[in-house]
Chain A
Amino acid sequence: MEHIVIIGNGIAGVTLAQHIRKKSDSKITIVSSETEFFFSRTALMYVFMGHMKWEHTQPYENDFWKKNKIELLQGLITAVVPNLKEIILENNTKLTYDKLVLATGSKPNKYGWPGQDLQGVTGLYHKRDLEALENWAPTTKRAVIVGGGLIGIELAEMLRSRNIAVTFLVREKSFWDGVLPFGESQMINRHILEHHIDLRLDTNMVEILSDEKGHARAIVTDKGETIECEIVGLTAGVSPNIDFLKDSGIELGKGVKVNRFLETNIKDIYAIGDCAEQHEAIDLRRPIEAVWYTGRMMGEALAQTLTGTRTAYKPGHWFNSAKFLDIEYQTYGWVWAAAKENEEHFYWEHQSGKKAIRISFDKKDRTFLGINTFGIRLRHEFFDKVLTNKETVDYVMKNLAKANFDPEFFKSHEKEIQKQFSSHFVGVNTI
């Protein structure tokens, strides 16, 4: 019987295993050094905040794996030997495979800051990061978070939930402004301050200072300021977790190089999820996509290949979501931080300053290109169809009510949005 070994029990690896099991009887082994059972990484923050217990982060009951004949092996892999078709674990046991899938995820970026390996310094990625935070939190008065992205703001929210003062260093001039256009980014800046987080824009960390026990005691910024703190959160992005593959002969770039079929340069070895790097980016996507949804989609696609239907990874229209403290964010299609030459942006913000919508469309033919929505839930299906059918921005405006996904009785803002849109973009451009 064919043996498929999957390294990594995150969303990509687990989705793959389940979809293989639906179509085939192959022997499936998932190897992980982090936890015995699959958990939802996106839920780590909720455990720290006391919204959930650890067990709630596990989407499947513990006997699920046995029932589905998916073998789980706990251990750290130190090397892959493609010639012998085997992998070597930390304790020198070997495991042979017929097909090997690398789904090893990411690790937090560390940019060589002095003191980055001190006690009290952590990313927010692994279960062990959570455990470390749990240990340090009781004696922490202030934490400094370095890196203004999605994980940084989650970590800030977590620490604030335990009444820990938080200083948030953001390299950019405004929060996440590489992705968010000015209006949205400003809105989130304000919301961060509303939550009593000490936001420092345009500020970098230079080094982390140690106390006599090897624990972080302060950080120094590029503005020369020293900030006393007991926890330093490093949330300046992630990169593929592939160090153990260096001598394997598998082609590596920043991640594991794969083609559209998620195949590496070596036969019978594949890579999916955060650790996979496309030779050439698909559409407007990045070559490495460290997103929950893409991990899942790669798993769904590769499962077809591994069960006999060779299938390329062809993701549909881009979408993503996040939550910035109390403000939910969804995006469908592409909205760039700055409108490209052929693009026009329409931005509406509610007077409360907590709801906003931005639509990007083509200047010439008014084709809808993408939407950012804050504090208003929108229907994925609606926008997927709009993008597929290449509808115009005017179509979207007319059908805004249909796109709404807010709970019943919520105040709708469609009229206000439509009014503002027509005063800006109808008449002017069409007459």
Chain B
Amino acid sequence: MSKSIKNISIASHENQDMDGIQKLGVTLGLLGLFIMTLALFNVSFPNKGLWLAGSIFAIFTGIIVYANRTYLNQPEGIKNNGIWHKDLTNRGSWAWMTGIILTSFYIVLYWYPQYLGLNQDGGKSTGIVGFFDPLSYILNGKPASQWFVYGTLYTIAILGLGYKFILKYRHNKYQLIRTISVMFFQLGFAFLIPEILEKLNPEKAYFTKDLKNMWPLNYYFFNDWNLKGMLEGGNLGLFMLFFGIAMIFIISPILTYFYGKRWYCSWVCGCGGLAETAGDSFRHLSNKTDTVWKIERWMIHSVLVFSFVMTIAVIFTFLSNNPEMSFITKDHFIWGIVAFLLVFTGALYLFKRKDLDKDAVFTMLSLVAIIIISLLINYFSGNQNILFIDSNSLREWYGFAIGAAFSGIVGVGFYPILGNRVWCRFGCPMAAILGLQQRLFSKFRITTNGGQCISCGNCSTYCEMGIDVRSYAQKGENIVRSSCVGCGICAAVCPRGVLKLENDTPAGRINSNEILLGNDVDLMDLINQK
């Protein structure tokens, strides 16, 4: 670490703090990326397979060398020294450059894949897409697409930087197991299994094969091409369809009841996986003000309504156009949705009225809005037109605005500027639903340890979801917030052992004390019982 923090020069004073071995690690990693960049600019390598393997190997080796040197030659413990002094992690010029490069990559990936070398006329791809062909043939038997390149890089990022994260928090077994979990789900469920299943079923039309990628995060699950793909995709397709629906209505609610939404958001989810590993260095950049919390409520619930309406519209159109493929008619469908949501929100209102915080109220109002819109859809729509809007264009707009722009470009591209959970906090409709359940029907909470809080603010600073953890801890109040993804970093950085993630009986989970433990017992009784 530099002794001076005034240096903000672009000539990385951060590098000045690295020793030879750390520099070697960074160099190796950059070399791997450089080879890929050369491929992007159409340098044709003779033995593509070897060069690709070499570049991936260089990236992994670089990260391993750097991480080992950085973390293993000092005692175990919290490693946040200099975070706010470093250019890259304090929105300096390196941060902006990284942000711009990531953002540009996403723009090209989503909208101009030809610049990555994708041949859209079915011919042989060039550039970085072509560069990944050898790996793609091995895994799925087809030439690489831009999505294959993306998936591979994504997986490399989670595995490599997951390793770094594990060393950084090696004293903390919760972090260790959680990180191995996200690495496992990314490598197996999101990357290898779908690719291999693709290879085993080459003749079938493409449909989603990532078991853990749930609707509504996976917004195209109910899109007509995916539904058709699954319905016509033999046993595997039907399994995917039923498993996907079971995830939404059975598996997820049960797991969320027992463990809170963390079982998904910080243990399984791919977006969460990237945020927790590659994004860890930026977790402290999330904004903690009340104003931004307000914005969060509006945004995430707008996306929630948008995603529901889009999905309902798409299924509605699908059922109108393909009545022969389903035993449910579009009338059944709409009334089914309305009945389900009515019972659901009605029951919530009846039994949980008192426990609703603002987040939960917003989610409930969103669900009511969806009911009304669904009814309107049924009475004022033709087959293709949903409330005078073409359902296809609604779907495309969702894909464009939410799927690409929000979750990718802003969500990941802005890591170094806005923090690593922008998408999860402001946009993810899945997080909104799991959050409602976490708030109202779950055993999960972060318990505070009596009167031990010293209001230092480490917990709030390092909360990636922008929760002002300290504001609860210093009142001795458990943290039961919709948005908490249960990453456990607040508990890790707390210097006084005040916070603990727990699953316990729902009774007494939401508490509030004016006088903290440790003071006069009579005074506590007098004031806290009111």
Q: Interface residues, chain A, CB within 8 Å of chain B?
A: 11, 19, 22, 40, 42-43, 46, 49-53, 56-59, 61, 134, 137-138, 140, 161-164, 191, 194-195, 292-293, 296-297, 300-301, 304, 311-317, 319, 321-323, 325-326, 328, 330, 377-381, 384, 388, 405-411
- In the complex, which residues 249-290 of chain B have their Cβ closer than 8 Å to any Cβ of chain A? 289-290
Q: Tell me which residues across on chain A come within 8 A of B526, comparing CB atoms.
A: 304
Asked whether A293 and B3 contact (CB < 8 A) given A49-B80, A51-B458, the answer is no
User: Within the complex, what minimum Cβ distance (angstroms) separates A195 from chain B?
Assistant: 7
Query: Is A161 within 8 A of B81, CB to CB?
Result: yes
Query: Is A49 within 8 A of B456, CB to CB?
Result: no
Query: Is B455 within 8 A of A42, CB to CB?
Result: yes
Q: Tell me which residues across on chain A come within 8 A of B470, comparing CB atoms.
A: 59
Interface bin, chain B: 35 or more
User: Within the complex, what minimum Cβ distance (angstroms) separates A309 from chain B?
Assistant: 8
Query: Is B452 within 8 A of A407, CB to CB?
Result: no
Interface SS of B by simple majority: loop
User: Within the complex, what minimum Cβ distance (angstroms) separates A97 from chain B?
Assistant: 25
A365 to B51, CA, bound (A): 75
Q: Tell me which residues across on chain A come within 8 A of B317, comparing CB atoms.
A: none
Nearest 7 CB-CB pairings of A with B: A380-B450, A326-B77, A377-B497, A138-B4, A314-B520, A50-B82, A43-B456
Query: Is A163 within 8 A of B1, CB to CB?
Result: yes
B522 contacts A by Cβ under 8 Å: yes
Query: Is A301 within 8 A of B520, CB to CB?
Result: yes
B382 contacts A by Cβ under 8 Å: no
Partner of B495, one of A138, A312, A323, A405: A323
Query: Is B518 within 8 A of A315, CB to CB?
Result: yes
Partner of B523, one of A11, A191, A314: A314
Q: Tell me which residues across on chain A come within 8 A of B450, comparing CB atoms.
A: 319, 379-381, 384
User: Within the complex, what minimum Cβ distance (angstroms) separates B120 from chain A?
Assistant: 47
User: Within the complex, what minimum Cβ distance (angstroms) separates B459 from chain A?
Assistant: 10
User: Within the complex, what minimum Cβ distance (angstroms) separates B82 from chain A?
Assistant: 4
A262 to B404, CA, bound (A): 62
Asked whether A195 and B75 contact (CB < 8 A) given A56-B461, A328-B496, the answer is yes
Max chain A C-beta neighbours (<10 A), residue from B76, B491, B519 = B519
Query: Is A46 within 8 A of B518, CB to CB?
Result: no
Query: Is A138 within 8 A of B523, CB to CB?
Result: no
Q: Tell me which residues across on chain A come within 8 A of B83, comparing CB atoms.
A: 50-51
Query: Is A59 within 8 A of B457, CB to CB?
Result: yes
Q: Residues 1-19 of chain B: 1 if any A CB is under 8 Å from the residue's CB, otherwise 0?
A: 1111110000000000000
B514 contacts A by Cβ under 8 Å: yes
- In the complex, which residues 312-336 of chain B have their Cβ closer than 8 Å to any Cβ of chain A? none
Asked whether A46 and B455 contact (CB < 8 A) given A51-B83, A314-B523, A377-B449, the answer is no
Query: Is A59 within 8 A of B518, CB to CB?
Result: no
User: Within the complex, what minimum Cβ distance (angstroms) separates A389 from chain B?
Assistant: 12
Give me 17 A-to-B residue pairs in the complex whose CB atoms sit less than 8 angstroms apart, sorted by A's number. A40-B454, A42-B454, A51-B461, A161-B82, A191-B75, A293-B452, A297-B518, A315-B520, A316-B517, A321-B497, A330-B452, A330-B497, A380-B450, A384-B518, A407-B172, A407-B174, A410-B173
Q: Tell me which residues across on chain A come within 8 A of B527, comparing CB atoms.
A: 300, 304
Complex: chain A residue closest to B172, CB-CB: A407
Q: Tell me which residues across on chain A come within 8 A of B457, comparing CB atoms.
A: 40, 43, 46, 52, 56-59
Partner of B519, one of A57, A59, A292, A316: A316
Q: Tell me which residues across on chain B come within 8 A of A406, comparing CB atoms.
A: 500
Query: Is B461 within 8 A of A300, CB to CB?
Result: no
Q: Tell me which residues across on chain B come within 8 A of A195, comparing CB atoms.
A: 75
